[in-house]
Structure 1
């Protein structure tokens, strides 16, 4: 029973894998490209670095112990060490323990800086990963475009194949020349040559997209996405988050200047060991200890406080200018793409009518040729023009589709 259950699970997993392998959407391609890109590992490294750095910052309030041992020559007058002890070489031991009570907000501010720096690093990674969308768009819609062109070639090839059969029968009955058959075959060979060219180009695009997303898509069918004609102008790119995080980091770093103006308060314990000791009795080792409250205040931060505030203001202004420039360029690209979408939409409206008319014209020449009222060259020309019209329509459809997705990519969907 266990083996049977395991076999069913394996079969079900195989079915899921097969289904997934049959279709691929552009949104799935975006996600797979991000997951496959080596830079994605940077997220984990940034998070680990933040954890270790925060851990170190939290240890600032742990007791700090320092011990110093000196064996050296004592210069000058020194209290008597006892009868018969005239040696100037003494051992001196110093020990000090400090317990911070308040560090002026240094630890809290340092943790804010660490957090802000980590967020900025993550935002920078997000910006780099978002750039993958443009690469996916070029390859994904390039494959869709080639597939549409191949479909049109198949339609044209079907028309030619039917005509070749007709012309062969007419030739066998002595009603047409062999050159007509040859003309048809030449056109069919030209179609096959175009088909091979498209297929080799598609294979190249497919190989690059497979490498980009880390999945073999040789057996996958690329799903043609819906046309997102509706466009809004809200910019939601990851660069916006990066600019915000840059400001947060600058603000957090400026808080450290405020910390430098604050006094530091702590508990202090110190001890001194002298050997041989000072002659205060029978002991040969002297010890001295002290404990109390320590207060330290370094006022040099006051001298440059105003300059530091001005520097912070200028740094924030620089980020604001960078953000304004980015938004300006992004809106400019959005306007360009909107113009492309409007132009392509207008062109596409006429394509359907052109295809219908070209088909009607080709059918008319087909009838003329079949009844012997028109030459073969007219039929071939009409067939080629219909094929061109269909090809143009397919091209414009994919171009419009790609433009709408590029618009979404530019503004940050």
Structure 2
């Protein structure tokens, strides 16, 4: 009794990998997304947006400008009069000036606000593009996952076939000892056994490569010992066909970006008001009658309005409207193609459902034919070659059913992936 308890505890404590971990499709899709290098782009997009927003906000800070110049001119300003007993100094022809100006925005026409909106809209577009790229991973994971499930079914059928071939080989070997069968009958069965073993080796090799690719894609350790659970077949996808693909979010984000760009165009054509103050040192200073280096300052309110932007305003707005229309056409084309694909997938699902409903009947009939052929071999009225043909026909029918089952589930998930349902 103690040994039994101890044995049970050892089994419980053994790591899961000994028996093979259980994996499902949703986990594989989630892990593939987290493991994909492109997902790191999210943080970079966010950082870039923060830098751009920060730069735009600095437009509200005083803008400092330092300028300096030295000039030499052929003539200088002179008073055209003479005053008795007074010498009026003459300005030097070489003049120098250094000025620091601080400019504070009071109203920029909404330019900085529009720049921040464009930054946010651009960030959203980049994120949506990344979502579209990452969404394609689902299809790659599905192909590998369902490929492994199909190979598992084929290997299971292969084992059943080999067991049956071995049973018949043993039976014909006993017939041979009794003089009822000959060596050629055994050789025919042996050839089929070798073919089945070769087929098993090919299937196992293909499945191993699929496991390696799925493991690399998800960033987890998945091997032949891992058990892949068969996804549930939810047929509600056949009725709920509203498209929720990330591409639709990208089209919406691009339209929002066009609106933000239009707002920036309008802001660029509005007047701007700012306060400024200048401080400088030069010769001459503010007093033009003094030919000496002096300090000076000046401050005030400045209004600026660049009217030349109105020349191209209409064309620029029309360009944005054209881009928006082109984006809408791309969205319409995407939905049209997705709808066609949805109808095609729904038709494929209905076909597979119909096919599966008759697979069981075909297998039942094939089993009856094989049993009848086996009895005829026992009675010496049918050759072993004919029996092998019926065995292979039954195996083919079972493999087709397994194939149709996996294809049906895969078609349902392809439909789900096509509309992101």
Structures share fold, TM-score greater than 0.5:
yes
2:245 to 231, 237, 256: 237
Report the CA distance between 1:84 and its aligned residue. 9.0
1:29 maps to: 28
Matched, 1:45 2:51: no
Residues 76, 91 of structure 2: 8 Å contact kept: no
**CA deviation after TM superposition for structure 1 residue 125, in Å:** 1.2
Aligned partner (choices 191, 202, 210) of residue 186 of structure 1: 191
Q: Which residue of 2 aligns with 1:351?
A: 359
CA distance in 2 between partners of 1:20 and 1:95 (Å): 78
Paired residues of 1:144 and 1:224 also in contact (CA < 8 A): yes
Shift, 1:30, TM fit: 1.6
How many residues of Structure 1 are paired with residues of Structure 2 in the alignment? 400
Where do 1:85-100 residues align within 5 Å?
A: 88-100=93-105
Conservation of the 8 A alpha-carbon contact between 2:22 and 2:226: yes
**Aligned CA distance change for structure 1 residues 282 and 398 (closer, same or farther; 3 Å):** closer
Structure 1 residue 227: Cα displacement: 1.4
* 1:373 to 1:276, Cα distance in 2 relative to 1, 3 A: closer
> Residues of 2 paired with 1:281 and 1:312: CA distance?
56
The answer to whether the Cα contact below 8 Å between 2:22 and 2:227 also exists between their aligned partners in 1 is: yes
8 Å Cα contact 1:365/1:374 also seen in 2: yes
- C-alpha separation in 1, matches of 2:106 and 2:292: 37
- Point out where structure 1 has 5 or more consecutive residues left out of the alignment: 1-11
Distance 1:314 1:143, change over 3 A: same
Corresponding position of 2:348: 340
Secondary structure of the 1:304 match is helix
Using the TM superposition, name which of 218-227 and 20-29 deviates more: 20-29
CA distance in structure 2 between the aligned counterparts of 1:86 and 1:132, rounded to whole angstroms: 78
Residue 207 of structure 1 and its aligned partner are, at CA, apart by 2.5
Q: Could you list the per-position Cα deviations for residues 216-260 of structure 1 after superposition, in whole angstroms to 9, with x for gaps in the alignment?
A: 321322221111222221001110000000000000000012102
Deviations 1:341-361 (A, max 9, x none): 111111111001111221122
Unaligned ranges ≥5, structure 2: 1-11, 80-86
Please give the alpha-carbon distance, in whole angstroms, between the structure 2 residues aligned to 1:58 and 1:19: 58
Contact (CA 8 Å) 1:79, 1:278: kept in 2 or not? no
User: Are 2:118 and 2:260, in contact at CA under 8 Å, matched by a contact in 1?
Assistant: yes
The answer on 1:228 being equivalent to 2:234 is yes
Q: Which residue of 2 aligns with 1:3?
A: none
1:86–1:387 CA distance, 2 compared to 1 (3 A)? closer
- TM-score normalised per structure 2: 0.87
Distance in 1, Cα, partners of 2:100 & 2:267: 28
Superposition pairs of residues 67-86 of structure 1, within 5 angstroms? 67-78=66-77
CA contact (8 A) 2:78 2:90 kept: no
Match of 1:114 among 116, 119, 140: 119
Q: Which residue of 1 aligns with 2:371?
A: 363
Q: In the superposition, relative to structure 1, how do residues 14 and 132 fare at CA in structure 2: closer, same or farther (>3 Å)? A: farther
* Partner residue, 1:123: 128
Q: In structure 2, how many angstroms separate the alpha carbons of the residues matched to 1:128 and 1:69? A: 53
Determine if the alignment matches structure 1 residue 165 to structure 2 residue 170. Answer: yes
Secondary structure of the structure 1 residue equivalent to 2:256: helix
**After the TM superposition, which residues 153-302 of structure 1 pair with which residues of structure 2 at under 5 Å, given as runs?**
153-218=158-223, 219-231=225-237, 232-275=240-283, 285-302=293-310
In 2 relative to 1, CA 20–159 (structure 1 residues): closer, same or farther, beyond 3 Å?
closer
Q: Distance in 1 between matches of 2:19 and 2:160?
A: 29
With over 3 angstroms needed to count, the CA separation of the structure-2 counterparts of 1:174 and 1:280, relative to structure 1, is closer
Matched, 1:311 2:319: yes
Larger mean Cα displacement after TM superposition, 279-288 or 199-208: 279-288
* Preserved CA contact (<8 Å) 2:89 2:289: no
Residue by residue over 1:26-52, the C-alpha shift from the partner in whole angstroms, topping out at 9 and shown as x without a partner, is: 222222222222221221111111111
Alignment partners' CA distance in 2, 1:13 and 1:73: 94
Q: CA 1:258–1:228 in 2, change beyond 3 Å: closer, same or farther?
A: same
2: distance between equivalents of 1:158 and 1:223? Answer: 25
Question: Deviation of residue 332 (structure 1)?
Answer: 0.7
Shift of 1:283: 11
How far 1:174 sits from its partner (Å)?
3.8
Kept in 2, the 8 Å contact 1:358–1:386? The answer is: yes
In the alignment, the residues of structure 2 paired with residue 296 and residue 280 of structure 1 have an alpha-carbon distance, to the nearest angstrom, of: 28
Question: What is the TM-score of this pair, normalised by structure 1?
Answer: 0.89
